[in-house]
Amino acid sequence: MAKTKGKYNFKGLDDIFGESVSDIIGVIENDKEKADSNKTMVDVNSLIANPYQPRKTFEDDELKELAESIKIHGIIQPVIINTKNEIVAGERRTRAAKLAGLKEIPAIVLKLDSNQMEEFAIIENIQRVDLLDIEEAVAYKKLSANLKLKQEEIASRVGKSRSHIANIMRLLNLPQIVQDAMLQRKITMGQAKPLLSITNNEDLLNSIFKQILEKDLTAREVEQLIKNSNSSKTTGQESFVKKPAVVYMENKMMRRLGTKVSIDNGKLTIRYSDDDDLNRVLELLGLTDDD
């Protein structure tokens, strides 16, 4: 157990906890004088990872690099632990210290309950780890569900706008299969976000989602597919709805030729503005007189 020198205590502690546990961590980490006066040495092997820590993997090369630095300079910033020797902040430093062969490391002990431990683990993950958008959305959901926080409170805790929180959390309205694809980096937020407008049309959503996976549609192409579908519903001309594959090919040809292209009812239409533009398109198609 820690050789306790006394709980970290200074004016305003209760007020800071009233705001967010992450705030007090920031105060401690940025106030070297207070940190130095309240740190104690603990057995590095007695420390336990935060049970709520979402981050489970650490890059070996980064840990080895940090371990080499610790061998030379020691641990400059104390880790922060609770009274159970669970790591609140500094798990990466702790792992590197073990690699460096240290037996003891400096630590500051805080009295935290399970809710505060969970809150900090989630918030630290959001602020310090390069999360995917869908991972960020899941983290916000945990803050909302587990700690009963409203979006305004989450925004205050993580230092982001309420609109950002709301927009990211909307991704959780997508079918699980789409969310899983985002987690697996198969599709991006840009590709997935337009699908939110058709969550009430499962067949269309699944069709376009399949196109995204098979043809790596851009966000603009996904939006166009949805727009064409909505337009067909408005006009009632279901027979003229273009298949996703047709719209994909139109967009592909437009990018290649740099002009409007339409595939409709057995016709391929390529627009050009003047004779020079026509010659440019013909040259791109390999149809110039030189051939």
The alpha carbon of residue 228 and the mean position of all alpha carbons in its chain are separated, in whole angstroms, by 30
Q: Give 6's pLDDT tier (boundaries 50, 70, 90).
A: very low
The radius of gyration computed from the CA coordinates of the chain, to the nearest angstrom, equals 28
Residue 69: which domain range?
13-114
Q: What percent of the chain has pLDDT over 90?
A: 24
Q: Looking at the structure, do residues 39 and 82 belong to the same domain, yes or no?
A: yes
Instruction: Please identify which of the residues 29, 62, 86, 91 carries the catalytic annotation.
Output: 91
Q: Are residues 97 and 157 in the same domain?
A: no
Instruction: Pick 131 or 280 by higher pLDDT.
Output: 280
Give residue 240's pLDDT band: very low, low, confident or very high (50, 70, 90): very low
Is the same domain home to 105 and 147?
no
How distant, in Å, are the alpha carbons of 85, 122, 136, 151, 288 from that of 127? 23, 9, 10, 16, 57
d(C-alpha 231, C-alpha 80), whole Å: 57
Are residues 107 and 18 part of one domain?
A: yes
Indicate whether 31 and 80 sit together in one domain: yes
Q: DSSP character for 166?
A: H
Residue 205 pLDDT exceeds 90: yes
Decide if 58 contacts 95 (C-beta within 8 A): yes
Does residue 18 have a pLDDT over 50?
A: no
Tell whether 262 is covered by a domain.
Answer: no
Per-residue pLDDT, 42: 93
Cα separation, 250 vs 264, whole angstroms: 10
The predicted structure's pLDDT at residue 19: 45
Q: How confident is the model at residue 233 (pLDDT cuts 50, 70, 90)?
A: low
Residue 179 covered by a domain: no
Q: Tell which residue, 133, 272, 15, has the closest CA to residue 287.
A: 272
Average pLDDT rounded to a whole number, residues 149-169: 88
Same domain, residue pair 110 and 136: no
Mean pLDDT, to the nearest integer, of 196-212?
91
Q: Using CB atoms within 10 Å of the CB of residue 126, give its burial: 0 to 12 exposed, 13 to 18 middle, 19+ buried.
A: buried
The answer to whether residues 56 and 93 belong to one domain is yes
Determine whether 144 is exposed, middle or buried from the number of CB atoms within 10 Å of its CB (0-12, 13-18, 19+).
middle
Closest CA to 117 of 170, 57, 52: 52
* Total number of domains constituting the chain: 2
Does residue 28 form part of some domain?
Answer: yes
Give me the count of residues in the chain: 291
pTM (whole model) above 0.85: no
Question: Which of the pair, 2 or 211, is modelled with greater confidence?
Answer: 211
107 and 17 in a common domain = yes
pLDDT range class, residue 210, cuts 50, 70, 90: very high
Same domain, residue pair 91 and 38? yes
pLDDT cut 70: percent of the chain above it? 78
Of 55 and 100, the structure prediction assigns the larger pLDDT to 100
Active site residue 91: yes
CATH code where residue 139 lies: 1.10.10
pLDDT of residue 55: 61
Judged against a pLDDT cut of 70, whether residue 1 lies above it is answered with no
**pLDDT tens column, 77-135:** 888 888 999 988 888 889 999 999 999 999 988 888 888 888 777 777 776 656 789 98
- Do 133 and 142 meet the contact criterion of CB atoms below 8 Å apart? no
What distance in Å separates the CA atoms of residue 278 and residue 271, rounded to the nearest whole number?
Answer: 8
In this predicted structure, which of 130-139, 197-206, 225-234, 258-267 has the lowest mean pLDDT? 225-234
Burial class of residue 167, CB neighbours in 10 A (0-12, 13-18, 19+)? middle
The mean pLDDT value of the chain amounts to: 79
Residues 157 and 103 in one domain: no
Q: Which domain CATH number covers 95?
A: 3.90.1530.30
Per the CB < 8 A criterion, the answer to whether 160 and 110 are in contact is no
